Structure 1
Amino acid sequence: MPVKTAQSSFRDRTQEFQSIAERLKKSVSSGPGPNGPSSSSKTEEQRSGVALQSEFNRRASKIGFGIHQTSQKLAKLAKLAKRTSVFDDPTMEIQELTAVIKQDITALNSAVVDLQFLSNSRNEGVVSSDTTSHSTTVVDDLKNRLMSATKEFKEVLTMRTENLKVHENRRQLFSSTASKETVNPFVRQRPLATRSAANASAAPPPPWANGSSSSSSSSSPSFPG
């Protein structure tokens, strides 16, 4: 008995599927969809975030190195300020180094403020909480280091002022002592010379100081006539 082959009815919808997929692809790439920004926008934001992170790291590294150099200058200034010699005071070197450190601290303060602004601007974008926490920690650390350097600078200047007062007192003391030592030494000997003359006049005269006639007559023997 012949068996009829069952014919299943179907429709080839391959082209329709490809057409729909192409339209979806174009719509996704052309603009934001209903659930958020497109992939191209996300890529652009990621690139921008990487660029900001790189700039942030570069500035932070530069500021940190600047604070390190300023700390070395402060150590040198403190060493100079501790000198207590009256005649070997490095005034010019201290003044020049003080002016340089002041300029460094002013520039570093401005740089830290700019870094803080960059960190805030970057944190307003689409960044992770770890990135935000890291940038905040870096900025706070640089602020604390700069504050410590500024405090040390003020302490060194205070020590320098106190040493200058000590030097001035020593100069005045030395000048007073030197002026006393320049007095004519012969002036001090006059009372001694006068006293010696007085002592000499008060001493009993030697035997030969008396008159020769009286001494001869009193001591010559008498002969009978």
Structure 2
Amino acid sequence: MVEHLANRLSATAMTCRDRTQEFMATCKSMQSRQQQNGIQPNPTGATRQRTEFTLIAKRIGKDLSSTFTKLEKLTLLAKRKSLFDDKAADIEELTYIIKKDINSLNKQIAQLQEFVRGRGAQSSRHVQTHSNTVVVSLQSRLASMSNTFKNVLEVRTENLKEQRSRREHFTQSTISSLPPPIMNGHGRHMHFLAFSSHVHSTEHLLVEFDFEKQGSHRKTELNSLRFVSH
């Protein structure tokens, strides 16, 4: 009985083959094919990187939209040509904020591009192409917004020149509507002379009035002397 069981185990052992080496070779072959096809060996790491990229890209897109809203408001203010209702303080504040936003967005997109380049060897071709497309799209939106911002500033500069010209014209028109004596330097001088003459004549009258008072007083003194002599 024991001998029979031993013979069966021996036969079973002869029919079993150690295929560990074949399994390892098959795994290496599959891994090699995955790398050639651009498939990430570590799906968990690939998912994490895709999620991180998506979050960063969405945040940049949100910041772009926020800055564009500010730019629209600045455009409306910069196009106003009212001489007496110019929102200079609001325009200066928005200009400063938008410049700061554009610089920040430029840095964020550059960092995102470096992130894509850094994971290039670990991501599939499809993921790499998609990521590059997203980066280019963000760069294009930022460039378009920067050009619009530049045009708005140019419009603002032209409106300031026009306002200055209108203000000077308004000032000249106001001066020309004043009375002749103060139209020019000569007119002001004549006006001053007329006033001086009036003052001088008034002083002359006061002197004459004082002289008459003195004369009257002297006459009184003479009459008193005559009365005493009599």
Question: What interval of TM-score do these two structures reach, taking the shorter chain for normalisation?
Answer: 0.5 to 0.7
Decide whether aligned partners of structure 1 residues 178 and 134 sit closer, same or farther in structure 2, where only a CA change above 3 A counts: same
Query: Of 83, 88, 92, which residue of structure 2 is paired with 1:91?
Result: 88
Query: Of 47, 51, 71, which residue of structure 2 is paired with 1:50?
Result: 47
Report deviation, 1:84: 0.5
Q: After superposition, what is the alpha-carbon deviation per residue over 1:119-163, rounded to whole angstroms, capped at 9, x for unaligned?
A: 1122221x3222111111111111100000000000000000000
Structure 1: which 5+ residue stretches go unaligned? 1-8, 188-225
Decide whether aligned partners of structure 1 residues 34 and 67 sit closer, same or farther in structure 2, where only a CA change above 3 A counts: closer
Query: Of 164, 167, 170, which residue of structure 2 is paired with 1:171?
Result: 167
Q: Counterparts of 1:43 and 1:111 in 2: how far apart (Å)?
A: 26
Q: Could you tell me which residue of structure 2 aligns to residue 222 of structure 1?
A: none
The residue identity in structure 1 corresponding to 2:69 is: Q
Q: Counterparts of 1:139 and 1:145 in 2: how far apart (Å)?
A: 10
Q: Counterparts of 2:13 and 2:144 in 1: how far apart (Å)?
A: 73
Number of residues paired by the alignment?
170
Structure 2: which 5+ residue stretches go unaligned? 1-6, 33-38, 184-230
Q: Could you tell me which residue of structure 1 aligns to residue 129 of structure 2?
A: 133
Instruction: Please say if residues 49 and 122 of structure 1, whose CA atoms lie closer than 8 Å, have aligned partners that are also in contact.
Output: no
Q: Counterparts of 1:170 and 1:47 in 2: how far apart (Å)?
A: 67
Query: Of 73, 76, 98, which residue of structure 2 is paired with 1:76?
Result: 73
Instruction: Please say if residues 119 and 135 of structure 1, whose CA atoms lie closer than 8 Å, have aligned partners that are also in contact.
Output: yes
Instruction: Please say if residues 40 and 46 of structure 2, whose CA atoms lie closer than 8 Å, have aligned partners that are also in contact.
Output: no
Report deviation, 1:92: 0.5
Q: Counterparts of 1:163 and 1:34 in 2: how far apart (Å)?
A: 71
The residue identity in structure 2 corresponding to 1:164 is: L
Q: Counterparts of 1:147 and 1:15 in 2: how far apart (Å)?
A: 74
Report deviation, 1:59: 0.5
The residue identity in structure 2 corresponding to 1:118 is: F
User: What TM-score, normalized by structure 1, do the two folds share?
Assistant: 0.66
RMSD of the alignment, in Å?
Answer: 3.2
Q: Using the aligned pairs only, state the percent identity.
A: 33
> Which of the two has higher C-alpha Rg?
1
Q: Could you tell me which residue of structure 1 aligns to residue 114 of structure 2?
A: 117
Decide whether aligned partners of structure 1 residues 167 and 44 sit closer, same or farther in structure 2, where only a CA change above 3 A counts: same
Q: Counterparts of 2:89 and 2:50 in 1: how far apart (Å)?
A: 43
Secondary structure of the residue aligned to 2:81 is coil
Q: Could you tell me which residue of structure 1 aligns to residue 157 of structure 2?
A: 161
Report deviation, 1:68: 0.9
Report deviation, 1:44: 6.7
Secondary structure of the residue aligned to 1:87 is coil
Q: Counterparts of 2:63 and 2:54 in 1: how far apart (Å)?
A: 14
Q: Counterparts of 2:15 and 2:124 in 1: how far apart (Å)?
A: 42
Q: Counterparts of 2:84 and 2:66 in 1: how far apart (Å)?
A: 30
Q: Could you tell me which residue of structure 2 aligns to residue 66 of structure 1?
A: 63
Report deviation, 1:46: 1.8
The residue identity in structure 2 corresponding to 1:128 is: S
Report deviation, 1:33: 6.5
Report deviation, 1:105: 0.3
Report deviation, 1:55: 0.7
Report deviation, 1:35: 3.6
Q: Could you tell me which residue of structure 2 aligns to residue 13 of structure 1?
A: 12
Q: Counterparts of 1:68 and 1:155 in 2: how far apart (Å)?
A: 18
Secondary structure of the residue aligned to 1:83 is coil
Secondary structure of the residue aligned to 2:84 is coil
User: What TM-score, normalized by structure 2, do the two folds share?
Assistant: 0.65
Report deviation, 1:34: 5.1
